[in-house]
Structure 1
């Protein structure tokens, strides 16, 4: 089965907002065996919307559109639907009662005419009831294609996808299974991994595909299997994953998206009842942001000092000024002292420190752009490693964060 996802809105095309709806819908469809064939964004223009509907007619099984269902004049999707399906707008009493109740109970004001017009829907449409907002979703069919129109507000769209669209697609279509397994690797580049697993990749069954998804400091290997029997697909993927562990097991951190290295490290810290603190310079608080995005991190993460400026390293973190004078602010000696000071201030078992020159310009050090020192203070010692992560700046910061977690991960496993 094939699907197309269409987002409607000039605000997307001019870069004012980021389209997150398409990603959410594609993942939801993929879970039920519907492959997204195409994904596009179009303007709030009647003819553009009509052309898109004609384009996908009979080309895909399902078209899911978001946006253009609001109460203002620039929201024209409903009227355009009527033109395409040779239909007319009629008032839906159930939707009207919901809109009235929402406006009067939540906003505590009388319902306006513009609010009432939210209850106007194409007469041929199957209504997808939107408990989260005033704009209902619409399901319409023409020849071999189902067209679904949803509001563009993300939390309303998500509710309708989960509670209306997906259940009805499951009931409406017989679908194959699509099963994914994502292997998370750290500390080795995409090209080197590809060389190491080349023979294995060449001998994968035809119904299993491999995709490389590189990011600074990490590479995800996504295995996708398609077929009619889910159990057989899962068993086949397990066999292939075991072979991957044999080939590159030393760089595999976990399986699937929720097994990122910061989550794995957090689990280890929690299981062993040890704590962590940070002293960040060139990473600017990014490590703390990543850690605190994990639920339950407060049980092992005690805090961070973002001593970005040299003065902050001395006056707030307590770094020995003579080390900066003698060795430079970007040096092994300063990184080690930063880690030890963080460990001391927060009374933690482990502490990580980063100092470097992320570029593109040099700061208070003559260190080459891309240079980063990462120090790790443990219950027994402190050590530091030097790296050059190249450019651009975003790459340096991302790779430094991932490398720091990788060093901590390996250190915890040693003990």
Structure 2
């Protein structure tokens, strides 16, 4: 695991870190790597020169950034290949997460990234109460935003007030993680139950407790809760629960928004995985659109598949042109993400680098969370509203490296 090198020269700041807090696995691997590092580097250089003479550019090709993670090298070797001086760099440890100090110039695509949406998301986040928000930095962000700044000015703002750190997953021994996408779906509904409008969107139950009734029990037995509206498609309602918010076009011509308020306490279980294991559908086919179409072609299996996931979400009514994240902000499409807040606090700026998706290589604000978003290096990218956003979200399942931008004056609190 990666703190690598002599413990007495590790620079630890900001959180009252002590040597005994460094994971033991990190210390053990550090000692082992220190002994072998120079010999291994010489050995690998000779072998690679021999095997890949004439095509050494392969290791610098941006399309192969994750080659090191696929060629059998362990985390120490990956990190030393990228950061030969990492023994001298500042590191911060938080449970299974290590933050390794880097320079902005070392982050691929940083200078080219259009950060106007990032600044807007950051300013909106400053309106909420968060320990990530440093008053002086928020005031400067608002001042800059009001001046119609150039992208260069926005980039300078983040460089002047933040310090970048590469996020490392110590448990999984990785420097990259999964990025998926989500969106706000649009459903058809009615304020009253009639005709095709048979599937309720519930508010939080009056007798709510955890664990509450399962998905199947709620459908079959009913619950003591207000119904915000009734929708015409239970499969669309299921995917609404996954997304956490949506828009409902009512049969009286009006439109309402609905947003996540609570969940019944059962962990989300993937129906795509269930369809794959039970009915042999290849995993690569199982996008949201494919699953919807598959269920509609197999109506006799809808109960079995949907009830495999015991999770059930309750909602609140909100404005139809807003998508509120867990932080309470109106999310900015393609500039905000949902994260696992055990590791990344809401409001934190996260740059995600990946050559596998054109919407990445971008600075995002962590302003939401989700039940399926678990892990040190894990994010769900918010794409916006409607069908096109849904298509983009459904196509997003890529690896990326995460860089946390710590604002000056911020300290982690145990």
TM over 0.5: no
Q: Bin the TM-score by the shorter chain.
A: under 0.3
Normalising by structure 1, what TM-score? 0.23
More helix by share: 1
